[in-house]
């Protein structure tokens, strides 16, 4: 059995679900455009530049979850999936995931984006395991804070190892471990697996992949 891990944003998706969720809420009038659109873009630019303060970003991203009941959030998310996410899923991305599932590999999506946003996307792909940043909940309501280690940079390695331990597994149990990602922010996990694969990589990751002889693919 192989371990197959997928980044989500700009890897399996031809876009960023974090960014699109905030934009969706702005379009719905839930968030004030003048305030949130500029801030959303600032965080996105910081992420691409490798300068993102993950805790400052999570304060921004998770705050709206604490302001509305779960039923309303779920209703918005159904619209979000139809309007924003399904158009970002290519046939090639679906085939990539389906092949690994049919081969019987242990598959997981590993993403910095919070699990409220990403769990329905993982289900859309048919991936049974999701390792994501977890929003804190108390009595079934989101608090606007993060629970545990954010699944970001070195935190992705930590969270994957915690997930594997929960399954009674270790890295050495697998004949091969793969991780597909587009971002230089994911270098810690790319360096941890036996077969790192860059997908439509950003410039820093492309340079690293070429220098190290890693596979580079596109899912178009």
Q: In the CATH scheme, what is the code of domain 3-217? A: 3.40.50.1000
Query: In the block, which residue shows the tokens 């922010």?
Result: 185
Q: Residue 192 pLDDT > 90, yes or no?
A: yes
Q: What does the mean pLDDT of the chain come to?
A: 96
Question: Catalytic one among 7, 16, 182, 202?
Answer: 7
Q: Is 7 a catalytic residue?
A: yes
3-38 per-position pLDDT tens digit:
999 999 999 999 999 999 999 999 999 999 988 889
Q: Is 45 a catalytic residue?
A: no
Query: In the block, which residue shows the tokens 């190290």?
Result: 212
**What does the domain layout of the chain look like in residue ranges?**
3-217
Quote the pLDDT of residue 36: 87
81-114 per-position pLDDT tens digit:
999 999 999 999 999 999 999 999 999 999 999 9
Q: How far apart are CA 115 and CA 159, in angstroms?
A: 13
Quote the pLDDT of residue 187: 98
What is the bridge-based pairing of β-strands 177-181 and 3-6?
A: parallel
b vs e for 14-48, b when ≥16 Cβ sit within 10 Å of the residue's Cβ?
bebbbbbbbbbbbbeebbeeeebeeebeebbeebb
Q: Residue 220 pLDDT > 90, yes or no?
A: no
């Amino acid at each position: 059995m192989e371990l197959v891990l997928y980044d989500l944003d700009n890897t399996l998706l031809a876009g960023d679900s974090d960014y699109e969720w905030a934009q969706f809420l702005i379009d719905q009038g839930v968030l004030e455009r003048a305030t949130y659109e500029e801030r959303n873009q600032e965080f996105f630019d910081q992420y691409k530049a490798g300068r993102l303060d993950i805790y400052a970003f999570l304060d921004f991203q998770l705050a709206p979850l604490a302001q509305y009941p779960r039923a309303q959030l779920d209703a918005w998310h159904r619209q979000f999936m139809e309007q924003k996410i399904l158009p970002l899923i290519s046939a090639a991305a679906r085939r990539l995931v389906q092949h690994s599932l049919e081969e019987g590999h242990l598959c997981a999506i590993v993403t910095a984006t919070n699990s409220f946003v990403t769990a329905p996307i993982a289900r859309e792909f048919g991936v049974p395991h999701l390792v994501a940043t977890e929003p804190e909940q108390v009595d079934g309501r989101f608090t606007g804070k993060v629970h545990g280690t954010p699944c970001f940079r070195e935190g992705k390695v930590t969270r994957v190892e915690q997930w594997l331990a929960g399954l009674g597994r270790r890295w050495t149990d697998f004949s091969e471990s793969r991780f597909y990602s587009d971002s230089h922010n994911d270098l810690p996990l790319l360096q941890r697996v036996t077969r790192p694969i860059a997908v439509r990589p950003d410039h820093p990751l492309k340079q690293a992949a070429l220098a190290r002889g890693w596979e580079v693919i596109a899912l178009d």
